[in-house]
Structures are given as C-alpha cells and as structure tokens.
C-alpha cells in the first residue's frame, strides 16, 4: 500500500473497508516522553510535532474530523498512537468545550447516544482532567501557551466533571478507551487534586515557586483515610490552607464544607483533621490523624521548592 499517493478521503475509505492505517510510516513517540534526543539537541514536544507535519506524512493529509473518526473507531488508539491527535485536542480545547456545550451535541451524547460523539466527549474530557493533574507531562513549565490552555480548561472544570458524571450515570458499563498506565481509572487522589485546582491550587503552587508535579506525585502516593489526613497536613505546611480559607470562604464552616466536597467526605472529617493541627485542639487524636504527617512533611518542604 503506497500511502504517499493517497489523499485523506482515500485513506479514510481504505480504513473503513479494511481497518488498515499507515501507522508504520508515521513517526510516533510514547506519551510520557515529551522530548527527543537529536544528537546533543533536545527537541521539545511541540517542535517535534512541527517536524512531523513538514514531512510527507499520510497522517497530515487527513483533516481534523477524519483524524477524530479514526481515533473513535480504533481500539487502543490512545495508547498506540498518541502524539499529533492528542496535542491537537489539547490545543483546540476552547473549540471542543464550546462544542460540548451545544444543545445539539449534548442531545447526540445523552439522548441519542451517538457512538462517535459519546466516545469523543468522554475521551477528550479524560484527557483534559489528566492534563490538569499532570501538566508537565504535556507542557514545559515555561510554555506560555500551555499555561493559557491550563487556565482555560481549569476554568471549565465544573462543566467537564458534570458531563463525565452524567455520562457515567447513563452508561455504567462504558469504559473509556483513553487510559494511561498511571491512571486506568480516575483515582481518588486525582479527583482531590482536580477539586483543589478549582480553588487555584495549581496557581498557588506556581506563584509560590513550588515544584507542582512533585507535590502532585506525593499526594497520589496516598489513598483512603490517609489521603485526607496527609493532604490536609500538606496543605497546611504549604500555606495553602490559610490561603484557601482567606480567599474562598467567609467562614471556617463554609471552608470545611467546600473541602468536604473536594475530598468526597463529610465536612466533620475535614474539620477534625484541620483543627487537630492546632496544639490546643481538643479533637480526638485517634480519629483525626493529620498531625502524624507534619514532621515528615516539614523535613521534605525544601525538596518541594524550585
């Protein structure tokens, strides 16, 4: 098959008839390897995509809708070919979120269950959530365009999570095709990070010169009850807890309620783990254990600074 001589429509027709694609001709790299070695020169991911685009590459003959058609109908697509299309989705985030908000599109997803639209919305939202949880996997921390995209997607977080929950409620059996090795399901820790990002956690870390990815990884090492107690202690030592109560709440009670939603627990558990960090606290130390993590966190604070 001479892919070089085929135009976009011919490639799509051949794919729909045979399932064959020109992957072996297409340059690709693993998702988590955002730079390449070219002699002694490191090539940033976006520059690498530009290099691909300049070659006589059959993938570049497809328009965006054709690329999405292939993505939605290829099992394992996001794991096996996840460079050009993935970044295309990210860079077009404003366009796609606006699309998801249209009544006709939501009707196709939630009322008519149109396979392409349903799969595409779900996978795209999971990509955006993964981006918020692991920004350095997609962009260099100095990438201004990347920061602009992050800020926009974060501003749409409530909408994205609402759409994802609505899809999961409608079809509990549907498993997203896009699943990274690190997150074959949306872990509780990732939901907590995404929830905190609604209250500018990412911005706080960046503006205070913390190593955002290191802190995210630390949070993700914990689960269950320890996730709550450890993260509360960490937020306290980072200074974020005081910032949160000052900027986003009028009363402590309101703050406990909001954090309860972030962690998915009763606000009493939040209140207990926050209050017990006060040396004069009368909270039950057997029930609320955030204080147990303080010494370890303080010993590592310098490692979290850029």
Q: Is the pLDDT of residue 187 over 60?
A: yes
Q: What percent of the chain has pLDDT over 70?
A: 67
| Confidence at residue 51, expressed as pLDDT on a 0 to 100 scale | 45
State how far the Cα of 157 lies from the Cα of 219, in Å rounded to an integer: 20
pLDDT tens-place string over residues 62-97: 666 666 666 555 554 444 444 556 777 788 889 889
pLDDT (average), residues 19-38: 41
Three-state DSSP at 83 gives coil
Q: Which residues contact 116 (CB under 8 A, 6 or more apart)?
A: 68, 69, 72, 73
Q: What is the pTM of this model?
A: 0.46
Q: What angle do CA 74, 75, 81 make, to 5 degrees?
A: 70
Q: What is the DSSP letter of 80?
A: H
Distances (CA, A) of 52 to 66, 84, 257: 18, 9, 49
Q: What is the mean pLDDT of residues 55-65?
A: 59
pLDDT, tens digit (0-9, with 9 covering 90-100), for 238-293: 999 999 999 999 999 999 999 988 888 889 999 999 999 998 888 888 888 999 99
Q: 116: closest CA among 177, 31, 186?
A: 177
Q: What is the mean pLDDT of the chain?
A: 75
Long-range Cβ contact pairs of 148-156 (< 8 A, separation 24 or more): 149/90, 149/91, 149/93, 150/202, 152/93, 152/94, 153/93, 153/97, 153/128, 154/197, 154/198, 154/202, 156/97, 156/128
Q: At what angle do helices 84-91 and 93-100 cross, to 10 degrees?
A: 70
CA 271 to chain centre: 28
Which segment, 153-157, 231-235, 279-283, is predicted with the most confidence on average? Answer: 231-235
């Amino acid at each position: 098959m001479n892919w070089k001589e085929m135009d976009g429509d011919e490639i799509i027709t051949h794919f729909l008839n045979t399932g064959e694609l020109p992957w072996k001709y297409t340059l690709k790299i693993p998702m988590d390897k955002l730079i390449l070695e070219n002699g002694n020169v490191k090539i940033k991911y976006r520059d690498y995509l530009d290099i691909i685009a300049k070659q006589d590459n059959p993938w570049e003959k497809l328009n965006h809708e054709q690329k999405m058609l292939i993505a939605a109908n290829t099992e394992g697509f996001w794991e096996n070919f996840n460079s050009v299309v993935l970044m295309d989705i990210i860079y077009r985030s404003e366009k796609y979120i606006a699309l998801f908000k249209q009544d006709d599109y939501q009707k196709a997803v939630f009322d008519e269950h149109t396979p392409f639209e349903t799969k595409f919305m779900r996978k795209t939202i999971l990509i955006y959530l993964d981006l918020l949880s692991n920004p350095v996997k997609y962009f260099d921390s100095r990438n201004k365009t990347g920061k602009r995209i992050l800020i926009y997607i974060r501003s749409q977080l409530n909408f994205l999570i609402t759409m994802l929950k609505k899809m999961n409620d409608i079809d509990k059996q549907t498993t997203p095709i896009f699943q990274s090795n690190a997150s074959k399901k949306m872990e509780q820790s990732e939901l907590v990070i995404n929830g905190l990002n609604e209250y500018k956690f990412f911005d706080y870390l960046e503006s205070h010169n913390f190593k955002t990815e290191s802190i995210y990884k630390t949070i993700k090492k914990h689960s269950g009850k320890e996730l709550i107690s450890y993260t509360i202690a960490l937020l306290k030592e980072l200074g974020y807890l005081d910032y949160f109560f000052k900027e986003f709440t009028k009363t402590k009670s309101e703050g406990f309620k909001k954090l309860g939603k972030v962690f998915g627990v009763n606000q009493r558990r939040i209140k207990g783990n926050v209050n017990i960090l006060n040396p004069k606290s009368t909270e039950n130390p057997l029930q609320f254990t955030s204080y147990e993590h303080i010494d370890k966190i303080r010993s590592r604070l310098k490692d979290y600074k850029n």
